[in-house]
Each structure stands twice: as structure tokens, then as C-alpha cells.
Amino acid sequence: MKKTMLWALAAFVLTFGAANSASAAESRDPKAVEIATTMMKAMGGENAWAKAHFVRYDFRVTVDGKTVVDRAHLWDKTTGRYRIDSTLRDGKPTITIFNVNDQKGTVYAGGKALQGADAAKGLKDAYAAFINDMYWLAMPWKWLDMGVNLKYSGTKSLGGKSYDVVELTFGKVGLTPGDHYYAYVSPQTHLMEHWEYTLQSGTHDAWDWTYTTSDGVTLALDHHSSDHNKRINMGSVRVSKQMDDRLFTDVTKSLK
């Protein structure tokens, strides 16, 4: 994991893509599993998330009111097709169309397909962005994935409200298995409303989460850091059964 503050904030690579990785048996206490199961039921149920076809969202990071990352995402969950629209540091618009299952695809910068090492780096960066950004969108759906350990840590008060706190650690899964999380779940909404983490890089932070529901599936809408200086907004989150298929082939079409 990169160690700069910006990368730790905007693109730290978590465990979203690691559900099929080999791992040791999970350690999960019954109370934590009960909270996780109730939470996913409150978000629409595991069956609704499993059946979701297209997912469209953004990943927009602001620090002290300045936008530092802005990516538009489209995912075909049924086939693994994926598209990310963003801007390179040199200001060129970049579109990456690939498949998350084999990480193969094409990177277009300024309307031209990249080749060789530039293309390979672009695809690697796009896959890392998929893992990271989707985790910010759907982290509560990932608690019962292979290799995720859950431990109930009791109740804590935060902002005048009481929460059930679940500790999440990881086996040999994902790109950063040394990450350590504390999730605050409201007994009233059954949603994770606050998240604290210490990454294996040593970075520590805390975020408040709010949600939106589309096509029966609840996903994250907005995140604010506890110091209120940082925000990660997911844009107009949409789960849909239909999408213009040309978005996965035609780079003249915009996601926004």
C-alpha cells in the first residue's frame, strides 16, 4: 500500500476482490455474525445484492474542499465487464475498459489506446481503483467473505448514540491483510454508520457513512472524516437491470 496521505485516503487497496483467495478458517463469534447478517438484511438482503446486474457510481474525494480524485465507474456484475472514466495527472481524460475477472482490457488516454508498459500500468491502476472504490461503496456487504474475521467488541457511545461495535481482521486475503477495522452498527437502523481503521501501513482514520437505496440494494452514498476535512462522495449511485451496452465498447460515450 502506498504511504502518502493522498493514496491512503483516496486509493488504499482493501479486500474487495479477494473473496476467492485461499485463507485460513475464519474466526467469527456468533454475536458478530448475527449483526452482520441483520445488517445485510437491512440493506436489501444478500440475494438482492447477488442479483444486481449493473452498478453505476462515482468516487469523488475532496480534501479541505478541493477535489483530488474524481472517477466514474460502471460494473456489469454478471460478466465482470468494467469501465472507469477519470483524468490523468497531466490532465488527459482516461477511459479504461477491462474485465475484473482476468484484468485484461484497454486503456485510452486522450482518446488513444495506450500500448506496452503504459497500458499494463494503466490496467493495474484501474483494477486497484476497482477494488478500492467498490469497497467504499459496498464494504458492509463484504463482512462474511472468505478470510474475514469478526469479533463483537461490545457497545460504545458516539455522538450521543449507542452502537454495536464489530472488529474486523483478515486472514491471508486481499492486498492488505494487515488492515484492522472497527465498525459501528446502529441497533436502530442496523447499518454501519461509523468506521474506524488502522491500515497495515500505519494510517489511522475514521469516517461517518450515509446510504442510498437503488433497485432494492442499499449502498454507500457519502463518507465524511471525523475531522470534517475530507469527504468521499459516491455520486448518483444506481443499481439497474439495463444499461447502454455501448458504454463498454465506445469511448466517445461518457459515463457522466
Give the whole-angstrom CA distance, residue 178 versus residue 3.
14
Buried-exposed string 26-56: b where 16+ CB fall within 10 A, e elsewhere = bebeeebbebbeebbebbbeeebbebbebbb
> What per-residue confidence (pLDDT) applies to 91?
72
| CA separation, residue 110 to residues 12, 96, 213, 247 (Å) | 26, 11, 34, 17
Residue 149 in contact with residue 168, Cβ under 8 Å?
yes
| pLDDT value of residue 88 | 62
- Distances, alpha carbon 162 to alpha carbons 154, 159, 166, 228, in Å: 10, 8, 13, 21
Would you say residue 254 lies in a domain? no
In a domain, 12, yes or no: no
* Entry pTM: 0.89
* Residues 83 and 77: beta-carbon distance below 8 Å: no
Segments in the chain below pLDDT 50 = 1-23
Q: How do residues 93-118 score in pLDDT, each as one tens digit?
A: 999 999 999 999 999 998 899 999 99
Q: How far apart are CA 28 and CA 167, in angstroms?
A: 10
On whether residue 100 sits in a domain, the answer given is yes
Query: One-letter amino acid identity for 48?
Result: A
Number of domains within the chain? 1
Q: At 100, which CATH number? A: 2.50.20
Residue 17 resides in a domain: no
Question: Tell me, what's the pLDDT at 87?
Answer: 80
- In angstroms, the CA 165 to CA 148 distance is 16
Of residues 177, 164, 148, the one with CA closest to residue 34: 164
Domain hosting residue 217, numbered range: 24-248
Would you mind telling me the total number of residues written for the chain in this entry? 256
161 falls within a domain = yes
Q: Is residue 5 part of a domain?
A: no
CA–CA dist 212, 216 (Å, integer): 10
Residue 81 maps to a domain: yes
Residue 6 lies in a domain: no
Specify the pLDDT at position 1. Answer: 30
Whether the CA torsion 11, 17, 23, 27 is positive or negative: it is: positive
